[in-house]
């Protein structure tokens, strides 16, 4: 549940803090000026200032502050402010740092923090603890909470079950608007913030949803089943979060009911969690295209090395393939050393043109905009674009090389090789990801290395082979 105001903060203090917090963060988050000041106060041991500043900040901003500090200062800040921060901070902080942050909290403090959170945030934190700690924290929670959390932990990571909140309002179809409003006013079990009321049948299967605005605009005597939306999208509890995000996007949903295998309503996923999923997803795409297994900004140096190494090793092996092609033509190069000078131009142009195509195609696959029905058309367009751009660039490169080495035939060779290489780059830049998708390999992670290999091998072969035939 969103903590609206820190109960520990009195009204006078709060006015003073308003002052601090308007300087410490601008509209987009913590300022580097504020981070600098935090560093100074940490070094000076000014605990009172630190606790007062942090207690009034948004959870996301405190998490950013934790992330911006070096490990030593971070530890000291966490230890100083752990009991005054919004508990959501612990769910907001980057996964790679969460363990280090949570270490500072005693089981008792963790239990207090967890019990103030929605089940989805609570599960995220509990999932990061080791077995022993987990039991210690769960034992300190109210029975009802710990049961829900234990059940939540049984769902797969990255599934709807992990994202959903258990807190929801479900009412029977025969109720009137007045019944619903009276129930909400009198029952202590109604969740804090929600957008839709769900209407369920006697077996608790969802029949419809009622946006609160519609409830409020209707007269008390109206039956909820007459005004509910029946075009519900019940989400199975094991649905993958990426698919779930697509459902939200397509239907502009704000919340979606989650059902178990028998179709019974067991939770609700809300849009704020989906925004996080969308961010994660995009981050994954960007990182994979860049040859990384994931964002390692907050990972320790040794972990970062280990995760990046395999990709570099694969790249070393594929680079040797390109070298083997060159070695076929070593006699030609010894004869005409200008070939060695110009070689990287052909390879680099092919790599770049191919990457342009690849980026568009990988993106289109991940947004499901590319399917069997338009793949052939797209490949055709990419080849055409590459051919025309290749022709123009070939003229420029050909003239330049011809003048540089006073050899018009050499200019012609590089021009022809470049056209061929760009066409193959356009073709393979589109075909490789489509092919990988079809054989169920993530195109984002494997396309780049395959494409560079193909454009290098093809580029060197075309350029040096043509030169060997024409120039020798």
Q: How far is the CB of 299 from a second copy (least distance, A)?
A: 9
CB of 39 to a second copy, least distance (A): 7
At 413 the three-state DSSP class reads helix
**Least separation, in Å, of the C-beta of 38 and a second copy?**
9
Which CB atom, from 137 or from 289, has the smaller least distance to a second copy? 289
- CB–CB of 241/158 below 8 Å? yes
C-beta of 450: minimal distance to a second copy in Å? 13
Q: How far apart are the first and last CA of the chain?
A: 77
CB nearer to a second copy: pick between 215 and 468: 215
Closer residue to a second copy (CB): 17 or 111: 17
Cβ proximity to a second copy: between 45 and 348 the closer is 348
Q: Are strands 235-236 and 206-211 parallel, antiparallel or unpaired?
A: unpaired
Structure tokens at 85: 């921060």
Partner residues linked to 29 by β-bridges: 26
Tell me the C-alpha distance between 37 and 420, whole Å.
58
Residues comprising the chain, all counted = 472
Using an 8 Å Cβ cutoff, are 116 and 3 in contact? yes
Q: How far is 254 from 10, CA to CA, in rounded Å?
A: 34
> Nearer to a second copy by C-beta: 114 or 322?
322
Look up residue 156 and give its DSSP letter.
P
Q: CA–CA distance from 316 to each of 196, 322, 358 (Å)? A: 55, 10, 21
* Minimum CB–partner distance for residue 226 and a second copy (Å): 13
Any residues with CB less than 8 A from the CB of 370 and at least 6 apart, and which? 361, 364, 378, 434
Least distance from a second copy to the Cβ atom of residue 407, Å: 14
Least distance from a second copy to the Cβ atom of residue 269, Å = 13
Cβ proximity to a second copy: between 108 and 369 the closer is 369
Cα separation, 94 vs 63, whole angstroms? 8
Q: Tell me whether residue 147 or residue 286 sits nearer to a second copy (CB atom).
A: 286
Query: To the nearest whole angstrom, how small is the minimum distance from the Cβ of residue 460 to a second copy?
Result: 8
Question: Nearest approach, Cβ of 170 to a second copy (angstroms)?
Answer: 14
Structure tokens, 166:
């258990």
The answer to whether residues 444 and 289 touch, using CB atoms and an 8 Å cutoff, is: yes
- 68 vs 466, beta carbon nearer a second copy: 68
C-alpha 467/C-alpha 72 separation (Å) is 60
Q: Which is nearer to a second copy, 153 or 388 (CB)?
A: 388
Contacts 24+ apart (CB under 8 A), 436-445: 437/365, 442/288, 443/361, 443/362, 443/365, 443/366, 444/284, 444/285, 444/288, 444/289, 444/362, 444/366, 445/288
């Amino acid at each position: 549940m969103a903590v609206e105001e820190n109960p520990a903060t009195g009204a006078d203090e709060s006015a003073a803090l308003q002052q601090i917090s308007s300087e410490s963060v601008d509209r987009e988050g913590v300022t580097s000026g504020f981070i600098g000041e935090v560093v100074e106060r940490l070094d000076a041991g000014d605990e009172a200032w630190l606790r007062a500043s942090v207690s009034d900040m948004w959870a996301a901003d405190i998490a950013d502050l934790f992330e911006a500090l070096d490990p030593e200062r971070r530890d000291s800040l966490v230890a100083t402010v752990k009991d005054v921060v919004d508990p959501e901070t612990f769910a907001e902080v980057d996964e790679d740092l969460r363990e280090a942050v949570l270490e500072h909290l005693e089981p008792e403090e963790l239990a207090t923090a967890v019990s103030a959170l929605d089940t989805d945030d609570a599960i995220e934190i509990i999932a990061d603890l080791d077995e022993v700690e987990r039991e210690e924290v769960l034992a300190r929670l109210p029975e009802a909470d710990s049961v829900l959390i234990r059940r939540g932990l049984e769902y797969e990571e990255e599934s709807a079950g992990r994202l959903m909140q258990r807190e929801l309002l479900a009412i029977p179809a025969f109720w009137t608007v007045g019944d619903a409003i009276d129930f909400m006013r009198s029952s202590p079990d109604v969740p804090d913030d929600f957008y839709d009321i769900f209407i369920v049948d006697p077996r608790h299967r969802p029949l419809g949803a009622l946006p609160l605005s519609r409830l409020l605009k209707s007269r008390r005597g109206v039956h909820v089943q007459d005004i509910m939306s029946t075009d519900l999208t019940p989400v199975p509890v094991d649905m993958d979060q990426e698919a779930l995000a697509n459902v939200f996007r397509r239907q502009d949903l704000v919340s979606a009911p989650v059902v178990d295998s028998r179709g019974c309503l067991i939770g609700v996923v809300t849009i704020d969690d989906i925004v996080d999923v969308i961010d994660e997803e995009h981050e994954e795409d960007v990182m994979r295209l860049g040859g990384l297994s994931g964002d390692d900004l907050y990972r320790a140096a040794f972990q970062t090395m280990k995760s990046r190494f395999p990709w570099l090793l694969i790249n070393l092996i594929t680079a040797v393939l390109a070298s083997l092609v060159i070695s076929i033509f070593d006699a030609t190069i010894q004869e005409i050393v200008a070939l060695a000078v110009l070689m990287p131009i052909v390879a680099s142009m092919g790599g770049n043109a191919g990457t342009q195509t690849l980026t568009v195609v990988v993106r289109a696959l991940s947004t499901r905009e590319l399917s069997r029905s338009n793949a052939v058309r797209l490949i055709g367009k990419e080849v055409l674009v590459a051919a025309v751009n290749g022709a123009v660039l070939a003229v420029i490169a050909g003239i330049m090389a011809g003048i540089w080495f006073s050899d018009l035939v050499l200019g012609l060779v590089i021009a022809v090789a470049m056209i061929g290489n760009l066409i193959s780059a356009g073709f393979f830049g589109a075909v490789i990801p489509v092919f990988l998708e079809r054989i169920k390999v993530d195109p984002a992670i494997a396309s780049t290395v395959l494409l560079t290999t193909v454009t290098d091998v093809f580029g060197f072969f075309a350029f040096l082979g043509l030169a060997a035939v024409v120039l020798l």
